[in-house]
Amino acid sequence: MSVKSAGVLLYRIRPELEVLLIHMGGPLWAKKDAGAWSIPKGVIGTGEDPLDAAKREFHEETGFAAEGEFEALGTFRQNSSKQLTVWALQGDCDPQTLRSNSFTMIWPPKSGKLMAFPEADRAAWFTRERALDSIVKGQRAVLEYFFARPDRER
């Protein structure tokens, strides 16, 4: 059975179209940049409305509220066992004020030490080319679809 996640792709036009991405937190991503950025997203809870899950995850991973007119982008396969449903939302925020929830893991491996890390350690605004170079491979199709829309303001 596949894992179903939902996310919000926040965008703005200044004067170019830009999207907000988060850099995945924790020691496994700390020294990576290309392919280490993500759309704020997370698992849809049992019985939870997918858009409500997307808004909740956006807030948990960024500290920002997702409010406004949502545009359904669709459901994308991230890999063989994960599906991601995404909504676009026009808005703005200051990435420097990111406040992410955290997760715990044993680090360093086999040390027995339980350490806490932020799910997202930073956020930034990206233009099309930079976003496509930075996004994690499994989410690239979301950005390609978003930027290719003929009705998208440039």
- Model confidence over 7-53: pLDDT tens digits? 999 999 999 999 999 999 999 999 999 999 999 999 999 999 999 99
Structure pTM? 0.94
3-state secondary structure of 90: strand
- Return mean pLDDT, the chain: 95
The domain limits of the chain are 3-148
Q: Which CATH superfamily is domain 3-148 in?
A: Nucleoside Triphosphate Pyrophosphohydrolase (3.90.79.10)
Chain position carrying tokens 């339980």: 114
Closest among 133, 129, 135 to 147, alpha carbons compared: 129
Q: How far is CA 108 from CA 32, 72, 101, 118, 120, in A?
A: 17, 40, 21, 16, 19
User: Residue 62 in contact with residue 93, Cβ under 8 Å?
Assistant: yes
From the CA atom positions of the chain, what is the Rg in Å?
15
What is the per-residue pLDDT for 154? 47
pLDDT digits 0-9 by tens, 121-130: 999 999 999 9
Burial of 63 (0-12, 13-18, 19+ CB in 10 A): middle
